[in-house]
């Protein structure tokens, strides 16, 4: 596949970017938090993914694109949908008996190695999406319509 280079002069970097977003619904709580977020509560988490490229594809179906939106959306959806309609808990943050009871009831629990804040999720998704080969500007995670955290390098 040929790439069209858009870097025009030394020191000057011209970048293209794409942004897509996808949402998932899940419950969580913050262990050790003093306030309402210590309680199990739900969010519609919105994840915004910003990718960048110095170049565009220069032939075929994706000519003049970084990547087809549909392909990027598919990859991001595959990563994020795993968390949809689950209870996300930090490892060891629930009494084992409570966890067992919830599992016995058939509830879907996903354990994560981090405190499930918007900040942690933004880095978590950033790392996974980058592992897929994307050049990322940042990943933004909205916990509520008004509050978001982001991660970039
Ligand atoms: N920096 C962060 N602060 C908080 C996070 C977080 O992920 N990063 N998370 C929470 C809670 O999970 C909470 O659900 C969201 O916070 P908050 O804005 O207080 O919730 P509301 O939208 O319900 O706030 P109201 O303005 O009271 O409606 C806490 N902080």
The CA 89 to ligand 1 mean position distance, Å, reads: 16
User: What pTM was estimated for this model as a whole?
Assistant: 0.91
User: What topology does CATH give the domain 18-51+68-151?
Assistant: Tetrahydropterin Synthase; Chain A (3.30.479)
- Domain layout of the chain by residue ranges: 18-51+68-151
* Per-residue pLDDT tens digits for 33-88: 999 999 999 999 999 999 999 999 999 999 999 999 999 999 999 999 999 999 99
Q: How far is CA 145 from CA 23, 56, 138, in A?
A: 11, 33, 18
* Per-residue pLDDT tens digits for 60-72: 999 999 999 999 9
What lies within 8 Å, CB to CB, of 65 at 6+ separation is: 56, 57
Residue 27 CB–ligand 1 contact under 6 Å: no
H-state helical runs in 37-148: 69-80, 96-104, 118-131
Instruction: Give the closest residue (by CA) to ligand 1 atom 25.
Output: 144
β-bridge partners, 56:
4
Residue 144 CB–ligand 1 contact under 6 Å: yes
């Amino acid at each position: 596949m040929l790439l069209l280079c858009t870097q025009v002069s030394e020191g000057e970097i011209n970048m293209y970017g794409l942004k897509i977003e996808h949402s998932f619904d899940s419950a969580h709580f913050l262990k050790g938090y003093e306030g309402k977020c210590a309680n199990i509560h739900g969010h519609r988490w919105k994840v915004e993914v910003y990718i960048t490229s110095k170049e565009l594809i220069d032939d075929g179906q994706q000519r003049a694109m970084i990547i087809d939106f549909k392909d990027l959306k598919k990859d991001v959806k595959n990563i994020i949908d795993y968390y949809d309609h689950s209870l996300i808990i930090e490892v060891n943050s629930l009494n084992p008996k409570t966890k067992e009871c919830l599992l016995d009831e058939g509830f879907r629990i996903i354990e994560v190695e981090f405190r499930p804040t918007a900040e942690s999720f933004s880095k978590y998704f950033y790392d996974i999406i980058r592992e897929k080969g994307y050049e990322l500007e940042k990943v933004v995670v909205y916990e509520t319509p008004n509050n978001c955290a982001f991660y970039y390098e």
